Amino acid sequence: MASITVQLPQKSYEIVIAPGNIDQLGPKMLPLNLGKKVLLISNPEVFAHYGARAIISLQEAGFDFCHYILPSGEEYKTPQTIHDIYNVALANRLERSSTIVALGGGVVGDITGFVAATWLRGLNVVQVPTSLLAMVDAAIGGKTGVNHPQGKNLIGAFHQPRLVLIDPEVLKTLAMREFRGGMAEVIKYGVIWDAELFAKMENSQGLDEIDNLTPGLLEEILIRSCQSKANVVSQDEKESGLRAILNYGHTIGHAVESLTGYTVVTHGEAVGIGMVAASQLAVELGMWDQQSDRRQLALIEKASLPTKLPSGLDIEKILVSLQTDKKVKAGKVRFVLPTGVGVVTVTDKVTTNVLRGVLTGMS
């Protein structure tokens, strides 16, 4: 179907998108000189569906194989889980030339990436994302992370994968709510980078479940989203400039997730809420017009994503929480805001009063 390159000064890598890729894991890894030992990390649901096929593929390609299944859910994205996996790596004598494979969604990918970044000062990692969100976002670009009680991904490192293998067919078993969450990131690419993707989504009958998408649109969504992410990451590997635009919707989104204990809204839902807020901030600042704001809102609603803050959430707490965001610079919160479909800018001109007003309107 498609192969997209993330161009980097040190080690570039491919994002390979094709139906049936789960069975190609071993053969695709083979030419990349990834050692002989492989630790596969997954969660119970994904492993039940695709673990056996991934394992057979690895074994037939001649890899020595072990695995670790972690409980599902953001609440296990903790230092404790990292240490459990360190012990598995130790017991199975992983070497610096060995490879850890992440078979799962964003949580599995982030944890696996962090272990690979920090065990023996860095092992190879291969990402096999199984959620829409992980396919178009989390698996690409080398961001790894673990949650701290005070905030999401406060602990983390940059560690690029050696390969990203996407099998669109696995989306058929993805929970509907997870699919919608991933669609929030896809809509994000439409707003920040790819006006054509935005228009194609506007023309789609629905965006809320996979059966409401034409196969052609699903293909477009995966390729265009991955290409958008690859373009940005290739230009700014470690988020010193351009890459900040990928955080569109994430600044307020992270605060919402964190303040509700990561249990009320999914990451994608939080990003959707964050994009609604960011769009309105941009309107308030006169950077983008109400019609564009309505077009974005319509897409988010078409994906059946929430557009209001979770009930009972204290807006003042959001304002405080934003001060601990990773993207705070010299004490000022910086927002990514749209100026046109496909174009965003970064600004620190959002005042607390404007922010309070927009958030109050979303309560």
Binding residues for a second copy (CB under 8 A) = 9-10, 35-36, 79, 83, 86, 90, 93, 95-97, 114, 117-122, 143-145, 148, 150-151, 153-158, 238-239, 323-324, 326-331
Beta bridge partner(s), residue 335: 347
CB of 290 to a second copy, least distance (A): 34
CB of 17 to a second copy, least distance (A): 26
172/88 Cα distance (integer angstroms): 31
Which residues are annotated as catalytic? 121, 143, 185, 229, 239, 243, 247, 250, 254, 267
CB of 277 to a second copy, least distance (A): 22
CA 68 to chain centre: 22
Tell me whether residue 110 or residue 178 sits nearer to a second copy (CB atom): 110
175/269 Cα distance (integer angstroms): 14
Angle at 165 between CA 163 and CA 170, to 5 degrees: 160
CB of 98 to a second copy, least distance (A): 10
CB of 117 to a second copy, least distance (A): 6
299/208 Cα distance (integer angstroms): 10
Q: Counting every residue, how long is the chain?
A: 363
Structure tokens at 123: 């092992």
Element (H, E) at 337: strand 335-340
Tell me whether residue 104 or residue 156 sits nearer to a second copy (CB atom): 156
Structure tokens at 79: 């230092």
Asked whether 73 and 104 are in contact (CB, 8 A), the reply is no
- Identify the residue whose tokens are 């109400």: 290
